[in-house]
Structure 1
Amino acid sequence: MRPIRTVATAVLAAAALIVTGCANGSDDTPAAAPSSAATFPVTVGTVTLEKRPEKIVALSPSATEMLFAIGAGKQVTAVDDNSNYPAEAPKSDLSGFNPNAEAIAAKNPDLVVLSNDTNKVVDQLTKLKVPVYVAPAAKTLDDTYQQIADLGALTGHPDEAADLTTRMKNEIDKLVKDVPQRATKLRYYYELDPTFYSVTSKTLVGSLFALVGMENVADAADPDGAKGGYPQLSQEVLVKANPDLIFLADVKCCQQSPETVKARSGWAAMNAVKNNQIVTLDDDIASRWGPRVVDLVRAIVDAVAKVPAA
């Protein structure tokens, strides 16, 4: 949903739209029964499965969260080294950022879920006759809902997937509906890392703020989307923009906080700093496009509710 925190990966993640411990979640509990609506063989896009997969390898934290949220967690036998939620996810040393086809195939999966085709891993796995579903970083909420539906179909949990998306839509609708209208839109800056990478309204994260009726100070830095919706701003531009709220999505990774922001040269004059309207986010929730996107909307709404009406 947003870049990780180096310049190189930030640019890479603009195309992929990206972002820790757990024990192996294997136990003797039987796998959840498939939905009554589950039928196989099933085809989603270019992926056809003859039977329900029981050895799923998920190499995307967002996909991992989706799979567990729809009741397919017991079918997941390995996840990537960044999939830290839920706690029972069977974390491994497999990388989603630099996937290795041989290492993945060694897990004997009957379905692999990826967020991108780095290293042409899809072709390599296809040659090894391993089914692969690619779930790229969502650009809209509808993208998220579609991926949940696709994974529901592929894993034999279509009903649970439909229920999940319905709950997400209802919760987001209620949160947005409860936001009071303002005569003037609140302006915000969303920080991905301390080098001032941000998001525009053309990203999934930016679209969530737009739902709440906020104005993004980063939009002017990438008006035509040439930077993928992830421009790097300058300190001078941000001070001049003078946002009403600052959202920090670089708390865990980069140890940013209201205190570090207040200490930045020239930032003390910003409305957000003067009025103590600096919001710390959970980096993981802010970077993923799975079910917990509802929690990000809630954090945005809660922050807006604390801003006094003009």
Structure 2
Amino acid sequence: MVKFKAYLLLLLFLCKASATLATQQSPPKVVALAPHLVELIFEIGAGRQIIGVSQYSDFPEDAKDIPVVGDYQSLNIEKIVALQPDLIIVWQTGHPVKDVEKLKALGFQVAYSDPRSISDVPQELIKLGRLLGKQSLAETKAAELTTALDNIQQQYAHKKPVKVFYELWPDPLSTIGASSWPSSILALCGAYNVFDDITNNPYPQVNIEQVLARKVDLIIQPLSDNQSAKSGFQWQNWPDIKAVKHNQIIQPDADKLHRMTSRAVEQVAELCGQIDNVRLFYQS
């Protein structure tokens, strides 16, 4: 009986010690290889766990101090190996497959982020929360975003469509197809992407004659602090386009709108309001 009691006490001690070690375990160190990932990780309170980022990860301000280990063209494998992250999170379509596969072959744990539409952002938060031990806050933030998106959709669901040309890049002139991220945003606002009939390419190049033929009500020209062409396409040279004739051109913040984050949802609410003003302009 004495031996049994001693064994039981030892077992209880080992269980308690294991639980203590589990609670003291350090949170995973992560390399986040996309600006939207960095923003989302900071938002769920795990920013200090990031030890490496990709180029243009400039929000929030603290992200600028984290070492850059690659961009959309290539990853610096040597830098990443030297950092010894516990987890590498990559944008599914944002990096060369060969670089990601090399990291996996070296034994690193790799997770993927692949938001396709604005409605995917809440799920991205939840996924990151589970990976980084911040599930509770992530679920709270995700619920807030879902409510905000539902409210936007309800507000504009029955509005008269506004025909929009979305300028993704000025030279060569590029726009968005049906399966693109911005197209999901326009749908929330009750707007119609005039190149929505392009289903085989999310970001096609077009010419000015094609734009002229689409009878565009509004030109959306997102601009970024990081892009070289600050002014965008010179639409003033084409007054035959309806939107140009009536000066219906808006320039939202591309750094907010094109990143799959909570800031994008805030920017969408503002954009939908601007589109509604254009709708009222043509109805007056």
TM-score when normalising by structure 2: 0.81
Larger radius of gyration: 2
1:30-49 matches, within 5 Å, as: none
Is residue 2:271 matched to residue 1:296? no
Q: Write the distance in 2 (CA, Å) between the matches of 1:243 and 1:249.
A: 16
Tell me the equivalent position of 1:261.
235
Is residue 2:125 matched to residue 1:148? yes
Cα root mean square deviation, aligned = 2.3
Question: CA 1:109/1:118 → structure 2, altered by over 3 Å: closer, same or farther?
Answer: same
Q: Which runs of 4+ in 1 moved over 4 A?
A: none
1:158-193 Cα distance to aligned partner (Å, 9 max, x none): 1111111111111122233333844x4210011111
1:198-209 matches, within 5 Å, as: 198-209=175-186
Structure 2 runs not aligned, ≥5 long: 1-20
Tell me the equivalent position of 2:69.
94
Instruction: Tell me the CA shift for residue 257 of structure 1.
Output: 5.2
Tell me the equivalent position of 2:139.
162
Question: CA 1:257/1:123 → structure 2, altered by over 3 Å: closer, same or farther?
Answer: closer
Classify the secondary structure of the residue corresponding to 1:239: helix
Query: Between Structure 1 and Structure 2, which shows a larger proportion of helix residues?
Result: 2
Q: Write the distance in 1 (CA, Å) between the matches of 2:138 and 2:180.
A: 24
Contact 2:157 2:190 in 1 (8 A): no
Question: CA 1:188/1:248 → structure 2, altered by over 3 Å: closer, same or farther?
Answer: same
Q: Write the distance in 2 (CA, Å) between the matches of 1:216 and 1:52.
A: 47
Instruction: Tell me the CA shift for residue 131 of structure 1.
Output: 1.4
Instruction: Tell me the CA shift for residue 302 of structure 1.
Output: 1.9
TM-score when normalising by structure 1: 0.74
Tell me the equivalent position of 2:17.
none
Tell me the equivalent position of 1:234.
207
Q: Write the distance in 1 (CA, Å) between the matches of 2:161 and 2:122.
A: 28
Q: Write the distance in 1 (CA, Å) between the matches of 2:97 and 2:184.
A: 30
Contact 2:189 2:272 in 1 (8 A): yes
Classify the secondary structure of the residue corresponding to 1:201: coil
Contact 2:122 2:143 in 1 (8 A): no
Structure 1 runs not aligned, ≥5 long: 1-39, 42-50
Tell me the equivalent position of 1:197.
174
Contact 1:201 1:210 in 2 (8 A): no
The 10-residue stretch of structure 1 (120-129 or 60-69) with the greater mean CA deviation from structure 2: 120-129
Instruction: Tell me the CA shift for residue 152 of structure 1.
Output: 0.5
Residue type of the alignment partner of 1:92: P
Tell me the equivalent position of 1:246.
219
Q: Write the distance in 2 (CA, Å) between the matches of 1:132 and 1:257.
A: 37
Question: CA 1:126/1:70 → structure 2, altered by over 3 Å: closer, same or farther?
Answer: same
Higher relative contact order (CA 8 A, sep 6+): 1
Q: Write the distance in 1 (CA, Å) between the matches of 2:161 and 2:37.
A: 34
Contact 1:52 1:155 in 2 (8 A): no
Classify the secondary structure of the residue corresponding to 1:219: coil
Tell me the equivalent position of 1:215.
192
Contact 1:206 1:216 in 2 (8 A): yes
Identity among equivalent positions (%) equals: 27
Question: CA 1:143/1:120 → structure 2, altered by over 3 Å: closer, same or farther?
Answer: farther
Classify the secondary structure of the residue corresponding to 2:111: strand
Q: Write the distance in 2 (CA, Å) between the matches of 1:125 and 1:186.
A: 46
Instruction: Tell me the CA shift for residue 119 of structure 1.
Output: 4.7
Question: CA 1:180/1:144 → structure 2, altered by over 3 Å: closer, same or farther?
Answer: closer
Aligned length: 252
Classify the secondary structure of the residue corresponding to 1:93: coil
Contact 2:152 2:188 in 1 (8 A): no
Instruction: Tell me the CA shift for residue 142 of structure 1.
Output: 4.3
Classify the secondary structure of the residue corresponding to 1:174: helix
Tell me the equivalent position of 1:132.
110
Tell me the equivalent position of 1:37.
none
